Amino acid sequence: MIINRLLSRRWKQRRYSEYTRHYTPDFSVRLIKLIALLFVLVLIDAAGMMFFEGQSLGDALWMGLTTVTTVGYGDISPSTTGGRIVTIVCLYALGISILAHIITEFIEHRLWVSAEKKYGRWRWNMKDHILIINTPTIDSDNYLRKLLQQIRATPALTEYPVQILTDKFKGTLPKDIAGLGVVHFAGNAENSDNLCAVNVSDARYIIVIASDHADQQSDSLTFDVLDRIQEIGTKAMILAEAINDDNRKRLQRAGANVVVRPIRAYPGFLVRSLVAPGTEEVLEDFFTHDNAHMRRFDISFQDRCWQDLICQFVTSGTGIPMAYVADGEVRCNPEPTQVCSGEAIITLLNDGQTVTEQQVKACLNQ
């Protein structure tokens, strides 16, 4: 029993060593050498057929190829002792086994490549792609799924290949995420070799996500990643998340074109900032009441053209209408020529602007 276990373990170790030795990046060199050796054996056999059998070069090569591939049409075959010995040695004993070895090498190499891609160890050599660096520590699958769905739903980004650099998925990507046409490289972003492996220099867009949106140390890690990217060099537009607003300028100096606050519930905010830089400042401004903010006025109106309504509000200094409420449903940004009726209106007010319901009523009665 002990001997059997030792032999079994030795066999597995031997298989593993062969696996790691054979399926290295020099696979193509080995395959070319095997094919060349097989071709040499066919040529030697062809020379033997021409010498012993008196066959033409074409017939000799035809017989050699049909024999080594085990097709065996039988239309041409050796009849002399010398010709048979050459065929047995070159084709039966060596050629067929080398061909089988070539096929085995190719199949196992394809299996190795498939496993490398599946487990995030394959270097994809992408160009003009969207590179997502890091994933959130909490609920990363759900956030990443929503983010990728938003990317695929955005016309300006839908055709770009997407790659993720993260150590979160050391196994395989979830099927629904991989189904969005995404690949990943398993590794730490604070490593220049890993950044080179995902081709940061050739990316079109780079998104650096803060791993922990509640830990300000994430900004230091983001800075480190940005600094490494600048050392490598890139043509990409870089978007980075900042936990602390005081670090925005620092991250911009490190190479980030756009810096946003992490908003985990709305990954579409990040995508919008990517395709329309500057909108992130407008949207973030809404989250602070001291700056631009929305206000709802529960005042009904009937049959008003939306573009005329906007002009009236702007000229009267009562804000900019952004939406209205009709039958309990909020209707955002309707067509300019649409005739609207509703029981409330939502306007955008700037910093320090005070608008009363009486002013809104007076504006609507114009």
Residue 309 DSSP code: H
Domain 130-285 sits in CATH at 3.40.50.720
Q: Please, what CATH class does the domain formed by 14-118 belong to?
A: mainly alpha
Tell whether pTM > 0.85: no
Q: What is the pLDDT of residue 325?
A: 94
Low-confidence residues of the chain: pLDDT under 70: 1-25, 170, 285-291
> In angstroms, how far is CA 169 from the centroid of its own chain?
13
pLDDT at 279: 77
pLDDT per position as a tens digit, 103-138: 998 898 888 888 888 889 899 989 999 999 999 988
What is the reported pLDDT for 139?
A: 87
pLDDT of residue 14: 43
User: For the chain, what are the domain ranges?
Assistant: 14-118, 130-285, 293-364
Between CA 345 and CA 331 the distance in angstroms is: 10
Amino acid at 140: S
**Integer Cα distance of 164 and 183 in angstroms:** 6
Asked if 197 and 216 touch (Cβ cutoff 8 Å), the reply is no
The pair phi, psi for residue 293, each rounded to 5°, is -155, 160
